[in-house]
Amino acid sequence: MSISLGIDVGGTHTDAVLLDARQRIIAHTKQPTSVDVMQGIGQALAALLALVNVDRGDIRRAMLGTTHCTNAIVERKGLQPVAHFRLGAPASLAVPPLSDMPADFRARLPVRLFTLAGGYHYNGDILSALDESALRQQLQAVKGAVRAVSVCGIFSPVVAEQEQRVAALAREILGANTPISLSSEIGSIGLLERENATVLNAALCGIAHTLTEGFRQTLARQGIIAELFFGQNDGTLMPLHQARTFPILTIASGPTNSLRGAARLSSLQQALVVDVGGTTTDVGVLCGGFPRQSAMEAEIGGVRTNFRMPDIASIGLGGGSVVTVDADGDISVGPESVGYALPQRSLVFGGDTLTVTDIAVARGWADIGNAGRVAHLCPSMVARVAEHYVAMVEKCLARMNTSQDDMPVILVGGGAVLLPMHLKGASEVIRPPHAGVANATGVAIAQVSGSVDTIVLPGDESLESCLRRAEHQAREAAIAAGALPETVDIIELDSLPLGYMPANAIRIRARAVGTLAPVR
């Protein structure tokens, strides 16, 4: 029997599930997230294995969703030294690399910046030849001083040859194992945002190696030798080697895991999903069973980027959110939260802090802790606070629903029980079985994907032919990632005429997903 293990690390809890070959949950657990994340994963894994008698050799695949990389950027910690090469002189000299990064981030980011002759026009013609002599000198200058390299060229998503040449020379001079991040493989059109994403990806490679190796060792200590996968932010998986190469794609994987889990647990493909955690509530939209992608540029820790990101709205509301009611009767809910200290500080557990969990218990919506400890709360105050925080969620739902009709709403997350089963703007409210571990379920059942994002100049070729070629490339990329060819479907295909460019330039995006091939 083949068993899959899914683990999702959140700010408050680490969730874990075991799925059988038919993707049915056979065991699940929710454990507090520890300061040492790997220790928390180990504790969740031990608790999970204690619940069911399985042959650990049958656990053939292990999937992890984690906030490691997001936290590193937000906290400005653990980022490794990078040498960054922009290929764009003399055209781009007026705007230096990383010029739009927040000053505090730029001050803490250990990066050496170089701008070289190079780059392409929008149609693939060479803007400037790559200055290999200067490049060799600069690589020699940083040898031993940096641990990763990033490269960003003007219109490199159209033609990537110069970036690939820089990568080859970097490995020759700095070492074959040097992590190289190429913007043509990470971001889309838009120089500064794509450049930011590429530099961040390079800076995260050290954290990614520590994370992936730590996960492998944690599993090995429990006698599990499995194929490893990591959740990425489009709701699909990437294998170990890809996670080490593109760690930035794990950012925002937590909310996407919850959305994919919600789709699986509810059997709905089109719905709004409300994921209630200990500190925040995330609201997303399922389109065809996958998270709707954001049309806006992504901002991470104040840094603008343009790689793919899910369309997620987050509010400071969770089970641990602190509730205050002042002398005038004004209500405040969050964003301050007791977080993972909820079992010690919430009233229903004998603490001294009024939280959303206490309000939900007093309102009769949740059966958590000791309800007698909140019996003294004024019923009218409880009702007003409950109405207040429910309205926060309803406002978020209204903002995320772009259709004219009400949509089904799926409640998931450890705090799903804190909300009522009737919400404004919802055609129905569903709290599926195992809603509390939807995130771990989502990463355990995730598929693999392949995508294409390019600019084409159709010329004598029809748009339909260009779209078919993009479909084929996306399918091949998904198969290369490990998908069974017969299961691969195109879930996104669109074209956008670029009116600001001549020659009828068109941007084409395609994304394909497929089921992982069975483990032999």
Q: According to the model, what pLDDT value does residue 1 have?
A: 64
Distance from C-alpha of 231 to C-alpha of 395, rounded to nearest angstrom: 29
Residue among 359, 353, 361, 417 nearest 383 (CA): 359
Alpha carbons within 13 A on the beta-carbon side of 338: 20
Q: Whose CA is closest to 122, among 150, 153, 99, 164?
A: 153
DSSP state of 418: G
8 Å CB contact between 393 and 282: no
Q: Does the bond joining 458 to the residue before it have cis omega, within 30 degrees of 0?
A: no
pLDDT over 90, % of the chain: 47
CA distance 157 to 22: 39
pLDDT of residue 519: 65
pTM: 0.82
Contact in structure between 345 and 354 (CB atoms under 8 Å): no
Residues of the chain with pLDDT under 50: none
Q: Strand 148-153 and strand 227-231: pairing?
A: unpaired
How far is Cα 203 from Cα 395, in angstroms, rounded to an integer? 37
